[in-house]
Structure 1
């Protein structure tokens, strides 16, 4: 079958945050662009369809005690609305085209697209190509994990309209914690199997201990240091996971569903990047330089696929870097990117920016540490959300904030204030002495930084 040939100035593979924003920007500034997306159910990218937005919508519903089936339908309605809006935001532009199909490289300048529901393939040549295919959930090589009908990833569990009575989460990272906390709030009995011997080993122990205490108080059972042996379906509604505990003894759990939350892998298998001569690292991510360029001068990689921090806002920032390269500006490299915060939407949420205490010590800083229990904040008491701990690290010599970890209600908003202060190089006393609205969570910075 002979492919239809088309040519564009710009070709973007993948509808994620960075790619879709770049597509719209190019089209609005007089450049022709094609945006390829494998599935019509992924218009707008992972965040809108299978990650940030649907999970946060479910979390809010759980906190409001909305039944799972109603919350699940509301989540589907929301993602459908956003998916259509994102499609129109690109396809509605005169110089932009959305092409639905699976892309694979033919050369460094050509991509073959097998269109969904269309007999003819499209062979697209382009002057510039941007890879924006993101990542997929990773399943470790555990016996029975692929054959079981009761094993889910973060993507497939969100598609399940019924609430599992008993849920086992394999993986003690942030995705596993969010899902464990969310399903427990909906009423599921949740057990989390953590492969690491420590709970949240990257965090400072006082923070990790506080999170462990809060989650355990909700009835979430956390078992550290496990080695998963196998998974076996027992019936149409029951699955068994066998594991060795930290003492090496074999044990097992029975559940209605198992969530595998053991990390993510690059979504690149069908791209056939070898035909384009694009270099990958050992983990399969596209290797880029500080300008987000691959070893091919006309090909960039945006977002998760380039192996950087896997956050939607990083993908958006990748867009800004490419925008300034193409249209002029000073922000042309990841080398000028400053501190970036993150949030984990358990209840209360965990937010962090900069160095942790142990990291600052390892780097040789002379530091001052301040800690404040969330229960000391009037706004937290008003909201009846008094669990948690606030912690900050300050450089003794410069009075600059080196890092901050907030495990408290509204921390996902508060951390942005600290991030701005750090990136502006402000003295910690700026936050200590600022006038905040009352009663607010942000005014906790008056007390926290007064402890330095």
Structure 2
């Protein structure tokens, strides 16, 4: 068995793992990364990136159907499912190759195989090419990610009942679709398939769609989804899925009444579970809680020298959170001073549906429940010149301030390009900005970002254009 020794080894090459390995190399460590499948992980290969490529095709399709609104005309508008999927896969593959280049550039050793803890500071790796290798390091970072949750009796089969993987590569476009779960993954797929002409129904067990978002934003988005023709059923219990030859019949319960919905395909989007199996954790002091590894504020486990980052350590399950954790724990390992811990209230959340939804910080309800006296500002897209010029007048920006200190507690948006706009508020949260800072910031005209200014002004009765 070949043996290699490093300062630090990362297990898993997703957005947390590869970033951690690169940062370790930048800080002078001899770093290695073990990956069993594709560099870039689920996010890059089967999540964030390919879905955005599909949604871009959907956005163009939506625009083509409204060309007359812009004084333009086109005939025989259609799409090629295989070509749409092919482009999505090409985008993912290009970026995966880019990650390989970055790791090589930073002199990170990439080991293709499956790793398992095998004693203090030791990993046993089953090599993809065959054989085994023993890898030793003072520090090991587990970044093995997560997979789709399967509900007992409602398991995906990859043919009629899909997870995100099958939903990303449809061979033909179904005529009808049931999406189970209205979080970011479910709503993004619902949005894509609806834009491609599919009859889409979304069922959600909780009382409202996008349940982690501010209630007002969730309600606004709900109405916009229905305007687009997506059928929304919230507060629904899914009881069974009966598979036919080429269809699925879902049995649901609403307010105690039984109903059935027949569709061509079902997408299960009911959360994820951490990939904690077969890592050798049972031989360590690492604690696992409901499929997620327990860590402290610097991502340290209870086993000396072993860290864990990303989806494997729990919510929020976001690529940018994983990357941030990777950098943070590596800098802590390297002994850098003033390494900031992760504040989840400063992590932005984005859903790339139509209309887009983005947020950071506390919702209005959460702020009030935490004891804050709040000032709330709102500004509608219809009051913004750029939004009207773009043909995107439906949307809203909402800001929540501490009435006593002026601190920006939270910001919530729904509408065109809000996933790009939210970063302005994220910086404001990170810099501990107050309402005065936002008042005194000059926003360019004409831009969608002006609504961010107006929403802050509105919280204090000072909005100009509304």
Provide the TM-score with structure 2 as the length reference. 0.89
* 3-state SS, counterpart of residue 17 of structure 1: coil
Query: Relative to structure 1, is the Cα distance of residues 396 and 250 closer, same or farther in structure 2, using a 3 angstrom cutoff?
Result: same
How many angstroms does 1:70 deviate by?
Answer: 2.0
Is the Cα–Cα contact under 8 Å of residues 106 and 276 in structure 1 kept in the other structure?
Answer: no
* 3-state SS, counterpart of residue 446 of structure 2: coil
Residue 271 (structure 1) aligns with: 279
Residue 408 (structure 1) aligns with: 415
**Number of equivalent positions:** 442
Correspondence 1:93-172 to 2 at 5 A: 93-94=106-107, 96-118=108-130, 120-143=131-154, 145-147=155-157, 149-172=159-182
Structure 1 gap ranges (5+): none
Equivalent residue in structure 1 for 2:84, among 71, 74, 77? 71
Residues 85-136 of structure 1: per-residue CA shift (max 9 Å, x gap): 2123224554x32122222222232222222241x12222222111011111
Is the Cα–Cα contact under 8 Å of residues 350 and 411 in structure 1 kept in the other structure?
Answer: yes
Q: Distance in 2 between matches of 1:204 and 1:301?
A: 30
How many angstroms does 1:331 deviate by?
Answer: 4.1
Alignment RMSD: 2.0
Correspondence 1:17-416 to 2 at 5 A: 17-39=15-37, 42-65=38-61, 67-91=80-104, 93-94=106-107, 96-118=108-130, 120-143=131-154, 145-147=155-157, 149-235=159-245, 237-244=246-253, 246-281=254-289, 283-334=290-341, 339-416=346-423
Structure 2 gap ranges (5+): 62-78, 461-466
Query: Relative to structure 1, is the Cα distance of residues 239 and 117 closer, same or farther in structure 2, using a 3 angstrom cutoff?
Result: farther
Query: Relative to structure 1, is the Cα distance of residues 137 and 335 closer, same or farther in structure 2, using a 3 angstrom cutoff?
Result: closer
Q: Distance in 1 between matches of 2:135 and 2:311?
A: 24
Query: Relative to structure 1, is the Cα distance of residues 15 and 127 closer, same or farther in structure 2, using a 3 angstrom cutoff?
Result: same
Q: Distance in 2 between matches of 1:147 and 1:442?
A: 44
Provide the TM-score with structure 1 as the length reference. 0.92
* 3-state SS, counterpart of residue 367 of structure 2: helix
Query: Relative to structure 1, is the Cα distance of residues 93 and 434 closer, same or farther in structure 2, using a 3 angstrom cutoff?
Result: closer
How many angstroms does 1:335 deviate by?
Answer: 5.5
Query: Relative to structure 1, is the Cα distance of residues 333 and 440 closer, same or farther in structure 2, using a 3 angstrom cutoff?
Result: closer
Q: Distance in 1 between matches of 2:412 and 2:109?
A: 43
Q: Distance in 2 between matches of 1:28 and 1:421?
A: 28
How many angstroms does 1:67 deviate by?
Answer: 4.2
How many angstroms does 1:417 deviate by?
Answer: 1.0
* 3-state SS, counterpart of residue 346 of structure 1: coil
Residue 12 (structure 1) aligns with: 10
* 3-state SS, counterpart of residue 271 of structure 1: coil
* 3-state SS, counterpart of residue 63 of structure 1: helix
* 3-state SS, counterpart of residue 403 of structure 1: strand
Residues 42-76 of structure 1: per-residue CA shift (max 9 Å, x gap): 21222211111111111111111254332211111
How many angstroms does 1:191 deviate by?
Answer: 0.5
Residues 190-240 of structure 1: per-residue CA shift (max 9 Å, x gap): 1001111333444343222211100001110011222222222211x3222
Q: Distance in 2 between matches of 1:138 and 1:428?
A: 41
Is the Cα–Cα contact under 8 Å of residues 19 and 327 in structure 2 kept in the other structure?
Answer: no
Is the Cα–Cα contact under 8 Å of residues 348 and 359 in structure 2 kept in the other structure?
Answer: yes
Is the Cα–Cα contact under 8 Å of residues 62 and 68 in structure 1 kept in the other structure?
Answer: no
Query: Relative to structure 1, is the Cα distance of residues 387 and 279 closer, same or farther in structure 2, using a 3 angstrom cutoff?
Result: same
Is the Cα–Cα contact under 8 Å of residues 112 and 128 in structure 2 kept in the other structure?
Answer: yes
Q: Distance in 1 between matches of 2:80 and 2:378?
A: 37
Q: Distance in 1 between matches of 2:202 and 2:171?
A: 21
